[in-house]
Structure 1
Amino acid sequence: MLMSNDSTTETTSQQSEKRVVRNDEKSRYEIWVGDQLGGFTEFEIDAQRRAVFPHTEVDPAFGGQGLGGTLVGEALADVTARGETIVPLCPFVKKYLSRNEVAGAVIDWPGGPRA
């Protein structure tokens, strides 16, 4: 994972054409395929340092390439590394977390803890 010192943090996956970028100006993580925006997951950091994820979207032109999973996985790993608690409101983020472990993540499940 690469971190830059400016307002945008980049994380580069092992696939050379795809990169995930934290765009603080737009409050979202973006996945880029070459020079094209492939999708994004929105977040908001609240007063309790919780990263609330309300919405994720992948351009249909990039469907079936696993961009959503790469995007959300890297976004969740980054907020975890920053010490922020994850609040998954987005159905895609909830599904991702129910199927994948994010090392060290603290999750505040809406409606209470998961069984």
Structure 2
Amino acid sequence: MMTTRLEHNAADTRFEIYIDDTLAGYADYAEAEDTKVRDFHHTMTFPEFRGRGVAAQVVEYALNESRDAGFTVIPTCWYVEKYIAEHREYADLVA
């Protein structure tokens, strides 16, 4: 059985997903100074983990954590934009 772990790596400004302790993908963001806005500009799933919903899991985690921390988001990354469009419960997060 595979284990999945999601983490907020604030030092590298990204949300990460690990499968069996191997980094499987991440969602990068930038935070504007003195604002509560995160610009998600890149989502990456490593080739050996594609087709397993890795990107969706890390983006969902990133959006939930951003909401809980009081942030709005700018979905510069096409995948984050698509995810929000398909999951309207996150539409209120868009800055």
Give me the TM-score of the superposition, normalised by structure 2.
0.90
Match of 1:27 among 13, 16, 19: 13
- Structure 1 segment 58-77 matched on structure 2, within 5 A: 58-77=45-64
CA positional deviation for 1:32:
0.3
CA positional deviation for 1:16:
6.6
Question: CA-to-partner distance for each residue in 1:36-78, whole Å, 9 max, x for gaps?
Answer: 0000100112132101100000001001110000110111010
Listed as ranges, the gaps of 5+ residues in structure 2 are none
Give the greater-gyration-radius structure (CA). 1
Matched, 1:37 2:46: no
Number of residue-to-residue matches in the alignment:
94
Question: CA-to-partner distance for each residue in 1:57-101, whole Å, 9 max, x for gaps?
Answer: 000100111000011011101001111011100000000000013
Identify the residue that residue 75 of structure 2 maps to in structure 1: 88
Distance 1:105 1:22 in 2: 21
% identical aligned pairs: 27
Give me the TM-score of the superposition, normalised by structure 1.
0.75
Distance 2:83 2:91 in 1: 15
CA positional deviation for 1:19:
1.4
Listed as ranges, the gaps of 5+ residues in structure 1 are 1-14, 109-115
State the superposition RMSD in angstroms. Answer: 1.8
Identify the residue that residue 50 of structure 1 maps to in structure 2: 37
User: Structure with the greater relative contact order (CA < 8 A, sep ≥ 6): 1 or 2?
Assistant: 2
Asked if structure 1 preserves the Cα contact closer than 8 Å seen for 2:84 and 2:91, the reply is: no
